[in-house]
């Protein structure tokens, strides 16, 4: 499926889309802000406890940095994607390093019919498609694997997510952890034998990221 056709389809649906996400209005003190933020539970109790909104905040971009494709990075977002799939809105996969395996997705609660895979001809097209889909607000989530991601491009994606009040997940190699990024949430993933461990490297609303890792 081409980048332009999918992006155009969901831009046209933007006006009629309805975002129905649970609102987590808990008040946080200490090193956390007190303003309530609408959020989608991640499906991981330990990760929810670390995030100020107790879930993936609506309208925020999240960077997931990993040691290599297939180390378990998708496990971080699968429970949330399964919740979003119940809204009958598509999940957009842009430039994934491998073809999503339909039976495995179905077993995780993501019906294959609700997935849209875009393999653009260039990184520029990939970023454009992600921005359009996020801005439209008619997609359950946008997953992006960019070859390169500048600060400007990341900022545009974040603004698009805010406009569409959607969920954007960007997967990058862990070496980019040293790069500056305007993404409100950044977390790194590493494999530890049969489990994976997550470290919250940056999160809007926290004065400092926690030192501990959590295991999935």
Closest CA to 85 of 9, 21, 158: 21
Give 98: exposed, middle or buried? Use CB within 10 Å, 0-12, 13-18, 19+: exposed
Cβ atoms of 123 and 148 within 8 Å: the answer is: yes
Cα angle 135, 111, 24 (rounded to 5 degrees) comes to 55
Q: How confident is the model at residue 10 (pLDDT cuts 50, 70, 90)?
A: low
- Partnered with residue 57 across adjacent β-strands are 39
Closest CA to 51 of 187, 172, 158, 163: 187
Q: Which of 1-10, 49-58, 128-137, 172-181 has the lowest mean pLDDT?
A: 1-10
pLDDT over 70 at 174, yes or no: yes
Closest CA to 61 of 171, 136, 147, 206: 171
Residues 6+ apart with CB under 8 A from 82: 43, 108, 109, 110
Residues 6+ apart with CB under 8 A from 147: 95, 123, 126
CATH number for 39-95+113-215: choose from 3.30.70.120, 3.90.960.10, 3.30.230.10, 3.40.50.300. 3.40.50.300
Cβ atoms of 129 and 3 within 8 Å: the answer is: yes
Handedness of CA 183, 21, 1, 16 (dihedral sign): negative
Q: How far is CA 157 from CA 27, 29, 51, 215, in A?
A: 28, 29, 21, 29
Pairwise CA distance, residues 211 & 81, whole Å: 27
Q: How confident is the model at residue 194 (pLDDT cuts 50, 70, 90)?
A: confident
Pairwise CA distance, residues 59 & 89, whole Å: 16
Q: How confident is the model at residue 124 (pLDDT cuts 50, 70, 90)?
A: very high
pLDDT, greater one: 118 or 35? 118
Q: How confident is the model at residue 215 (pLDDT cuts 50, 70, 90)?
A: confident
Closest CA to 126 of 4, 10, 9, 12: 4
pLDDT over 50 at 70, yes or no: yes
pLDDT over 50 at 50, yes or no: yes
Q: How confident is the model at residue 13 (pLDDT cuts 50, 70, 90)?
A: very low
């Amino acid at each position: 499926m081409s980048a332009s056709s999918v992006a155009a389809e969901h831009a046209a649906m933007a006006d009629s889309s309805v975002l129905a996400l649970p609102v987590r209005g808990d008040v946080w003190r200490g090193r956390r802000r007190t303003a309530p933020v609408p959020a989608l539970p991640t499906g991981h109790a330990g990760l929810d406890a670390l995030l100020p909104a107790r879930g993936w905040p609506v309208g925020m971009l999240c960077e997931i940095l990993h040691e290599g494709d297939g180390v378990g990075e998708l496990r971080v977002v699968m429970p949330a994607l399964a919740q979003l799939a119940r809204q009958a809105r598509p999940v957009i996969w842009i430039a994934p390093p491998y073809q999503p395996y339909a039976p495995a997705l179905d077993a995780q609660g993501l019906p294959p019919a609700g997935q849209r895979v875009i393999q653009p001809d260039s990184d520029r097209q990939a970023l454009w498609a992600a921005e359009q889909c996020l801005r439209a607000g008619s997609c359950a989530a946008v997953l992006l694997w960019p070859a390169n991601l500048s600060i400007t491009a990341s900022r545009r994606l974040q603004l698009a997510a805010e406009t569409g009040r959607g969920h954007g997940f960007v997967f990058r190699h862990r070496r980019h952890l040293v790069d500056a990024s305007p993404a409100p949430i950044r977390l790194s993933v590493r494999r530890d034998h049969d489990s994976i461990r997550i470290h919250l490297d940056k999160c809007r609303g926290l004065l400092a990221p926690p030192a501990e890792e959590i295991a999935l």
